[in-house]
Structure 1
Amino acid sequence: MGAAPLSERMRPKSVFDVVGQRHLLGDDGVFRRMVESKTIPSMILWGPPGVGKTTLARLLAEATGRPFKTLSAVSAGVKEVREVIKEATYAYGTILFIDEIHRFSKSQQDALLNAVEKGIIVLVGATTENPSFEVNSALISRSQVYVLESLDKKDLLELVNRAIKEDPYLKKKTIQLKDTYNLLRYSGGDARRLLNLLELSVDAAKEEEGEIIITDELVAMVAQQRAARYDKKGESHYDIISAFIKSIRGSDPNAAVYWLARMIEGGEDPKFIARRLIISASEDIGNANPNALLIANNCMQAIQNIGMPEGRIVLSQATTYLACSPKSNAAYTAIKDAQKVVKMTGDLPVPLHLRNASTKLMKELGYADAYIYPHDDPQGFIPQEYMPEGLEGKTLYKPKVNSREKEMMNRLQLMWQKKYKY
C-alpha cells in the first residue's frame, strides 16, 4: 500500500473534518469559535491516545494562519525549548505543540513560562495524563485545559467507512465489512489503532472473486500478531496497565506482579504506575482497608526519593499489598452517584442552619441559628438535617460486606437507620 500508514493518510484536512469531540467542535464549541475569531489561547489537550490531539493542534494553527512548531517531551530538552522561543520572537504568536508534555521536567516547563506569559508563543500541550499531576500549576494557570473524549462506536465506524471510500489505495479495492465488532473492540477508541488495524487486515485478507472480506476472525488474528510485536516495544501501554489494575481489583497478586514486571521491563515511567496504584487504593479497596491508600502514597514518595531500579521493589510491595487487600468500591460509587444527583438537581440552596454566619447581616437573617454542635453530646452525635431540601434521606454511601466497613455500617445503623435506611 502507500508509504505512510493509513492513519497518516487519513488525517483530516480541516478542523471541521475531525471525527468526534462534538463538545469542542460543534456549532457552539470553543474550537469552532477559535477558528472563526482566529484567536487561540495557550492550552493543554488532555485525553486518551488516538483521539486527535496532534491533529487538532496542527489544524488550529493552519486555520488561524499561525506559525507551527513541534517538540516531543521525550526527546527535547531546555536547549530545544529556548531555541524555539528565540525563533518565535521574530514571529509572535507562534504555536508550539509539545507532545507528551507530562514528561517535561520542572525546569523544561519553567523555561516556557515567560514566553507563554508574554505571548511570544502559544503553547499547545498534549497529554494522556491528568495535567494536575505532572504539569506545573503556574503553566496550567496560564493555559486552558480541554478534555478530549474517547471516540464512540458511531465515530469509529464513520472513520472506517470514510477510509474505505476516500483513501487513494483502499478505494481501488472492493472491501466488504462483514464484521466490525473486533475492529472496534481491538481499537479501544483509538482512531490511529483502528485505521492501522483496518489496513493490516486488508493486507492479510485473501481476495475472493475480486472482493476483500473483513471478518472478526481475520481482525482477531491480525490484532494478536500485532500485539505480540508491540508488547516487546512497550507500545501496548494502556492494555497492560488495564490488565495490571484489573489483576489488583481481582485480588490476584501473581498476575498483578507479572504485569508490573512487563511494564518495568518495557521502560514504563514508575511514577505512572505509582499514580495508578493510588487510584486503585481508593477506587477498588477504599474503606475495606484504608491502609492501602497510605501504602500507595508512600510508594509514590519512595519512587521519587530513590528512583529505579530499586523502586521496583517498592512497587512490588505496594502492588502485592493492594492485590491481597479486601475490596470495596463503595467510596468510588458514592462520589459517582453524588455527582449524578448534583447534575440532576442543580445548585440546591444550602440550608440556613448549615450556612456560615460570618457577618452581622447573616446572623440577623438566621444563618446557623438552628445548627446543633455535635460535640455538645457525649457520644459526639446529634441527629439533624445535613442534606438540602428535596434530598432528605438520599443514601449515597453504601458500605460493602467486609470487616472494616461492617463496623462502619453498624455505626451508621445506630445513628441513621430511620433516616437513611441502613
Structure 2
Amino acid sequence: MQNEPLAYKMRPRNLREIVGQQQIIGPETPLFKMIEKGHVPSMLLYGPPGVGKTSIANAIAGSSHLPFFSLNATHAGKKDIEQIVMDARMSGKVILFLDEIHRFNKLQQDTLLPHVENGSIVLIGATTENPFHDVNPAIRSRCGEILQLERLTTVDVLDLLKLALTDDLRGLGHIAIDATDEQLERIANASNGDARKALTLLESVYYASDEVDGVTQLNDNAIDALAKRIGVFGDKGGSHFYNLLSALQKSVRGSDVNAALYYLAHLLENGDLIAVCRRLLVMAYEDVGLANPAVGTNVQAATEAAVKLGLPEARIPLATAVVEMCLSDKSNSAYQALDAAISAIHEGKTGAIPNHLKDAHYAGAKELGHVGYQYPHDSPIGTFGGWVNQQYLPDELISMEFYKPVIAGEEKRMAAIYEKLKAFKR
C-alpha cells in the first residue's frame, strides 16, 4: 500500500464512497438501488479519462461482494478469458472489468459472450471512445446499461482532494499538511475534471514542497510548474477529438468568440493541425458562405499559412480565421440549396434537359433539334447586364426552387437580385 499512487489508494471501496457521477450511480438512481439489492447488470461505462470508470467498477464489486477480475483489452488473451470463465463456473457469478473494451477482438468475444449472456459473468466495460461507434454490437447488445460519465465538477474534485487530505488510512491524513482553499481550488481547476490527475497532482505537489516544524506547506510554485498542460487529453483520432471539432464549429456558428478560441486551443494542443485546418475550411463555406464570400478566401490563406508555419506559430493565422468567422454574418443557403437539389434527384424529381441547352458543338446537332439557345453575353446590356429570359430547368421542374436566400451580409444584396430575376421570369 505504501508505494501505491494516491489515486489508486483513494479508489472507492463501495458505492457510497463514490465522489461525483451522482446522476449515474447516486443513492437515488435505479442502478444504485439494483446493485444494493444484489442485481448487477452488465454495462458499458463511457467517458474521458479520470472520471471514475475504474472506480465505479471497483465500487460495484465492493458493494455486491462478487469476485472481481480486471483485464485490459489491449493485451488480454484468450487464456485470460478462459481462466475467468473457469472461475465463474466455480463461483457461480463473477464481475469482469474490461478496460479499453473497444479494442476487444472477435476471438475474445467468442470466448466470453455466451457466459455474459447466461449471467455467470457480469461484464463492466470501460471506454473513452463512443461505444456506438467503436464497441462491437455483440458486446453492446449484452450490456443492459450504457452509461455516459461526465467530467467531475470543481466541487466534486475539491471534495475528493479534501477527503485525501483527511483520510488517515488510504490518503495523506496521517501527514501534517497545510493547504489553503485557494491552493486546492487551483489543483482542482488544473485537473479539468479528472480525479486521477487531481490526486496525482496533489501527491506530486506534496513531495515537491518543504516541511517546516513538522508541517508541509504546499508550494505555490510547485503547483504552477506541475499543473502545466494537465488539462490536455485525447487522441488525435478519438471521440474526444471529434467532439472538440464539433464544439469548435458550433461555437463559430453561434458567434461565440471565446468558446471557439477555447476549443481551437484544445485542438491545437492535441497537435493534429491538418484536421483542424480542414474543418476550418469547411466551416468557412458551410456556416459563413454567401453572407461573406471573402471569408472562404481568407480562411484558405490562413490554413495554408498555418501548414507552412507549423505549430506553435500556426496558431496565429488560425486564431485570426476563427475570430473573423465568429464575427461574420452567417449563411448556409448555398449548400442547403444543393442538398435540396440532390434530394429532389433521389426522389425521382427529374426531367429531360431542354433541347436548347444540350451540346451543339458537332455536326448534326440541328437535326436533333438542339437549337434555340440564346447566348446571354450577346444580348443588350440591361438591368443585370447580358441577361435573357429563357428556360433552364426541365419542363417537369419548371416551378421548383431550391435556393432560399438568407438576408444577411453580402447575401442580402444577392437576394435582392434573385428576387428581381424571378419577377422578370414571371
Query: Is residue 2:223 matched to residue 1:219?
Result: yes
**Shift in Å, 1:382:** 11
Query: Is residue 2:169 matched to residue 1:179?
Result: no
CA contact (8 A) 2:46 2:146 kept: yes
Q: Which moved more, 1:84-93 or 1:60-69?
A: 84-93
Task: Give the SS at the match of 1:59.
Answer: helix
**1:307 — aligned with what?**
none
**Pairing of 1:326-341 with structure 2 (within 5 A):** none
**Shift in Å, 1:240:** 7.9
CA contact (8 A) 2:73 2:98 kept: yes
CA contact (8 A) 2:100 2:126 kept: yes
Task: Give the SS at the match of 2:147.
Answer: strand
Task: Give the SS at the match of 1:123.
Answer: strand
**Pairing of 1:14-413 with structure 2 (within 5 A):** 14-143=14-143, 144-168=145-169, 170-171=172-173, 172-177=175-180, 178-224=182-228, 237-238=233-234, 259-260=271-272, 277=275, 286-289=282-285, 378-380=399-401
Q: Which moved more, 1:117-126 or 1:177-186?
A: 177-186
Aligned residues: 304
**1:3 — aligned with what?**
3
Alpha-carbon distance in structure 1 between the residues aligned to 2:19 and 2:270: 37
CA contact (8 A) 2:116 2:123 kept: yes
Deviation by residue 1:48-86 (Cα, 9 ceiling, x = unmatched): 111211121122123223222111112112332233224
Alpha-carbon distance in structure 2 between the residues aligned to 1:138 and 1:400: 49
Task: Give the SS at the match of 2:151.
Answer: coil
**Shift in Å, 1:98:** 0.2
**Shift in Å, 1:149:** 1.4
Deviation by residue 1:321-341 (Cα, 9 ceiling, x = unmatched): x999976689xx99xxxxxxx
CA contact (8 A) 1:243 1:259 kept: no
Q: CA RMSD in A?
A: 4.7
Residue ranges of structure 2 left out of the alignment (5+ in a row): 250-259, 287-306, 332-395, 420-426
The structure whose Rg is larger is: 2
AA matched with 1:108 = Q
Task: Give the SS at the match of 2:125.
Answer: strand
Task: Give the SS at the match of 1:50.
Answer: coil
**Shift in Å, 1:170:** 2.4
Deviation by residue 1:234-267 (Cα, 9 ceiling, x = unmatched): x975398889968998799xx9599249xxxxxx
Distance change (3 Å), C-alpha of 1:411 and 1:176: same
**Shift in Å, 1:399:** 11
Alpha-carbon distance in structure 1 between the residues aligned to 2:269 and 2:165: 42
AA matched with 2:69 = K
Task: Give the SS at the match of 1:238.
Answer: coil
Alpha-carbon distance in structure 2 between the residues aligned to 1:166 and 1:91: 34
**1:395 — aligned with what?**
none
Task: Give the SS at the match of 1:124.
Answer: strand
Distance change (3 Å), C-alpha of 1:281 and 1:107: farther
CA contact (8 A) 2:177 2:216 kept: yes
AA matched with 1:174 = I
Residue identity (%): 31
Alpha-carbon distance in structure 2 between the residues aligned to 1:48 and 1:72: 16
CA contact (8 A) 1:51 1:150 kept: yes
**Shift in Å, 1:126:** 0.5
Alpha-carbon distance in structure 1 between the residues aligned to 2:176 and 2:31: 36
**Shift in Å, 1:206:** 1.5
Alpha-carbon distance in structure 2 between the residues aligned to 1:77 and 1:240: 27
Deviation by residue 1:288-312 (Cα, 9 ceiling, x = unmatched): 346xxxxxxxxxxxxxxxxxxxxxx
AA matched with 2:217 = I
Distance change (3 Å), C-alpha of 1:287 and 1:206: closer
Alpha-carbon distance in structure 1 between the residues aligned to 2:40 and 2:100: 20
Distance change (3 Å), C-alpha of 1:30 and 1:210: same
CA contact (8 A) 2:100 2:125 kept: yes
Residue ranges of structure 1 left out of the alignment (5+ in a row): 228-234, 262-273, 291-315, 335-374, 384-397, 416-422
Task: Give the SS at the match of 1:380.
Answer: coil
Alpha-carbon distance in structure 2 between the residues aligned to 1:412 and 1:213: 70
**1:339 — aligned with what?**
none
**Shift in Å, 1:222:** 2.8
AA matched with 1:238 = G
Deviation by residue 1:1-58 (Cα, 9 ceiling, x = unmatched): 9311111222222211110011123342133112222111110001111121112112
Alpha-carbon distance in structure 2 between the residues aligned to 1:94 and 1:166: 30
Distance change (3 Å), C-alpha of 1:258 and 1:84: closer
AA matched with 1:102 = H
Larger helix percent: 1
Task: Give the SS at the match of 1:13.
Answer: coil
**1:232 — aligned with what?**
none
Q: Which moved more, 1:206-215 or 1:7-16?
A: 206-215
Alpha-carbon distance in structure 2 between the residues aligned to 1:77 and 1:167: 39
CA contact (8 A) 1:117 1:142 kept: yes
